[in-house]
Structures are given as structure tokens and as C-alpha cells.
Amino acid sequence: MEVLGFLFRWSHVLFGITWIGMLYYFNFVQGGYFKQASPEGLADAKAKLAPSALWWFRWGAMGTFLTGLYLLHSVSGYASNYIWIGSIFGTLMFLNVWLVIWPNQQVALGMKDGDAAAAGAKALLASRHNVLFSAPMVFCMLASGHGGAGGWAAVDWSAPSMLAMLAIIVLLEINALKGKQGPLTTVNGVIGSSLVLTAVMVAVLNIL
């Protein structure tokens, strides 16, 4: 079982690198290129590059989620607050990929019929929020290995710290689906916001 657990942790990290690497590529590299590309270059990238990148993106997310489920089950009922908060961030990010970003990107890229502009805006909003969630999620993965807030024990979901973090996450996810980009509009803005959210999370989990 120790070998199996190690293989799942190893696979989880590899899938996660693929997923988050592609997420950062879309937000930090491809988006800027699309704004500057020639009409011919843009058309070629949308027809060939973006669909291939999205394949790795969504299946990287799937692999990360499925291996994460196994790892979470293996520590269920006896894990730090960071494990659970990180799992919630990761689950929402996974759902954003498959239920929001991928369906809307198919329309935005012309793979399916629909309002390309509106679909592109929805996909971008969810993608920006996934970047926002990424730093605190990774922090949770690393912090959990050192016990983290609450220590390695059964989590009290009624604790003020957990309720506060759940409220913050829910509000941010609602904004990811129906809100506005705000400071997430720019690359610097979304990176800074992700780091601020990480600091807020640490403060909430360790002070409240």
C-alpha cells in the first residue's frame, strides 16, 4: 500500500504540473499572443495549437482530480485543514475546466456553433479564477505535509476559520461564473491577487 500511495502521489504531481502549466500558458502566454498575432497566425493557432493545448489541459485536470480523490480518501477523516481547503480549490478548478472553460472554448474557437465573443469571455473569466485559486491550492498541498492549520486531526467544519474560508471560496466561485474580472484582467493583477488570496487564507486558518 505504501508503494501504491507513492505512485498516486507521484502521478498526482505529474498530472498537476501538466494541468497548471497549461493553465499558466493560456493566461500568461497564449492570450497575449492572440492579441498581437496576424489574422493568418491567429487563425492557424486557433485551428491547430489551441485545440491541442486544450486536450493536454483538460486531461491533465482529469488526472490530477482522480489521483487527488484517491489521496484524499486515504487520509479521509484525519487530515489538516489545509488538505481540505486545497481539495476544495482543486475540485472547483477541475469543474471550471470541464463545465465552463472547455465547453465555451469550443465555441470561441469555432469548433461548435454559438456566440464566440460571449463564450470566450466566460471561458476567460473562469480561467482567470483558476489562476487565482492556483497559488493557495499549491500552498495547501505543501503545507499539509507539515501538519498545517489544525494539525493532523479530524476537521471541525463548524470552526470560524473553516466557515470563513468556505464563504470566501463560494463567493469567488460565484464571481468566476457570473461576475467580472476586476483586478484579474491583467496578468500582473491575477498573479498578485492569487498571492494575496494565499496570504488571506493562511491568516484565516491560523488566526480565527
Q: Would you give the end-to-end CA distance of the chain in angstroms?
A: 37
Q: What is the pLDDT of residues 62-96, one digit of tens each?
A: 999 999 999 988 876 666 788 999 999 999 999 99
Report d(CA 149, CA 78) in Å as an integer: 13
Instruction: Return the C-alpha cell found at 65.
Output: 482530480
Report d(CA 208, CA 198) in Å as an integer: 15
CA distance readout (Å), 76 to 86, 105, 110, 133, 205? 14, 35, 43, 22, 19
Q: Where do the domains of the chain lie? A: 2-207
Of 117, 114, 128, 135, nearest in space to 31 by CA: 128
Residues in the chain: 208
Backbone angles phi, psi at 79, to 5 degrees: -150, 160
- Bridge-partner residues for 79, per DSSP? 153
Of 178, 97, 81, nearest in space to 131 by CA: 97
Residue bearing cell 501504491: 4
Percent of the chain with pLDDT over 70: 92
Residue bearing cell 505512485: 7
Q: What is the pLDDT of residues 89-146, one digit of tens each?
A: 999 999 999 999 999 999 999 999 999 999 999 999 999 999 999 999 999 988 865 5
Q: Is-contact 12 62, C-beta < 8 A?
A: no
What's the pTM? 0.92
With left for phi above 0 and alpha for psi between -120 and 50, is residue 70 left, alpha or beta?
Answer: alpha
